[in-house]
Amino acid sequence: MWFDDSRLDDPAALAEIDQQLRHLAESGARVRREATEADQAANAAVERSGGQSPRAVIAAGPDSRLLRAVLEPWCPVPFVAWPGPLLPGWAGSLDLVVMLAPEGSDSGSASAVAEAVRRGCRVVVACPPHSLVAEHAAGRDTALLPTGTRDQLATAVVVLDVLHRLGLGPGADAEEVAGVLDGVAADCSPFRDLSSNPAKELAITLADASPLVWGGSVLAARAARRVAEDFRRARGRGALAGDAEHLLPVLEAAKARDVFADPVADGGELRPVLLILDDGADEPVVREQRGQLKAAAARRGVRVHTLSAEQGSEVARYASLLLQGRYANRYLALGLVD
């Protein structure tokens, strides 16, 4: 496999991934659609709460880690992410169980939400209205937020907005998130050439590299893991996302860059690239870790590439970083040829 960057500006080649790019470009529209369709149910969920805070919040199901990344620093009551098919033994009628189930067909999620209903927990679940999860979620204290796009991010924005209105998390305005996603779609459009397209530029940077992806804040770190997963699918090769303490040894172990090295003679060995996802977090610990990573990369001659997202709320910045990475990985897959 080798990388042909000319394919990134070739209309015929871009037509091969037209449906994938359209799906990415419609990310903002999906957020708006989910928010609109769930609006009535969301209002009912807030009214039903009567302004009473739960004893604890349990984010259940496979997507619970995204909710944890957003809520854990903010939630005024104990919060736990519980991705398995069961609930913690102490969960009961004083607690709120929250679940994202955009597909609605996962049997583990259905089992967890059925257990929540059986125990008398308050339940907020976002899923398709006639799905397996919806059937198991039926109950007196259940707020079902209907979804139709099967988009995890769009579903999360709807749930986070409800939790914000319940006083349990930060704001997640759907229109703001959608606007940021629309901006990324314009910047990363296939109609923008290599010279002004950040996603195409990143694809070229990663074409002959093994990426080490780092995000300083909790949400940026979550985006880093998702971008690395997407890279592995696009390239079929390794990509590592982790905390600074996990990436520093990898950087320090990299061979010093040799400007006279012949990549063919060396068997095409991939050098690491440090990809930093910067969501504007400026806490001292974030600055220190970023500096350590960049210094280690400089000592070993490792390239550093930064994706930035500094506009909007924390959730909007997370969405921006995630979408930029997904565009880059689509262009990366397009440029790889036999």
For the chain, the domains span 2-21+177-337, 51-172
pLDDT at 63: 85
Separation in Å, CA 255 to CA 52, 59, 101, 263, 275: 58, 43, 44, 13, 18
CB 159 within 8 A of CB 145: yes
Is it the case that residue 170 has pLDDT exceeding 70?
A: yes
Q: How far does CA 60 lie from the centroid of its chain?
A: 17
pLDDT at 264 over 70: no
The reply to whether 2-21+177-337 and 51-172 are identical in fold is: yes
Burial class (CB in 10 A: 0-12, 13-18, 19+), 139: middle
Looking at residue 233, its pLDDT comes to 86
Q: How many percent of the chain have pLDDT more than 70?
A: 96
Q: In terms of pLDDT, which residue wins out, 45 or 260?
A: 45
**Which residue type, as a one-letter code, is found at position 151?**
D
Residue 262 makes CB contacts below 8 A (sequence gap 6+) with: none
Residue 129, exposed/middle/buried by CB under 10 A (0-12, 13-18, 19+)?
A: middle
Residue 338 has a pLDDT of: 77
- pLDDT, tens only, 111-142: 999 999 999 999 999 999 999 999 999 999 99
Average pLDDT, rounded, for the chain: 92
pLDDT for residue 267: 53
Environment class of 131 (CB within 10 Å of its CB; exposed 0-12, middle 13-18, buried 19+)? buried
Q: Please, which residues have CB within 8 angstroms of residue 188's CB and are 6 or more apart in sequence?
A: 24, 197, 198, 199, 200, 323, 324, 327, 328
Among 3.30.70.100, 1.10.287.3510, 3.40.720.10, 3.40.50.10490, name the CATH number for the domain at 2-21+177-337. Answer: 3.40.50.10490
Nearest alpha-carbon partner for 328 in 180, 233, 227: 227
Buried b (16+ CB within 10 A) or exposed e, 287-308: eebbeebbebbeebebeebebe
Per residue in 305-327, pLDDT (tens digit) is 999 998 899 999 999 999 999 99
CATH of range 51-172; options 3.40.50.880, 3.40.50.10490, 3.50.50.60, 1.10.357.10: 3.40.50.10490
Q: What is the pLDDT of residue 20?
A: 96
Q: Give the model's confidence band at 234: pLDDT under 50 very low, under 70 low, under 90 confident, else very high.
A: confident
User: How far, in Å, CA of 329 to CA of 278, rounded?
Assistant: 18
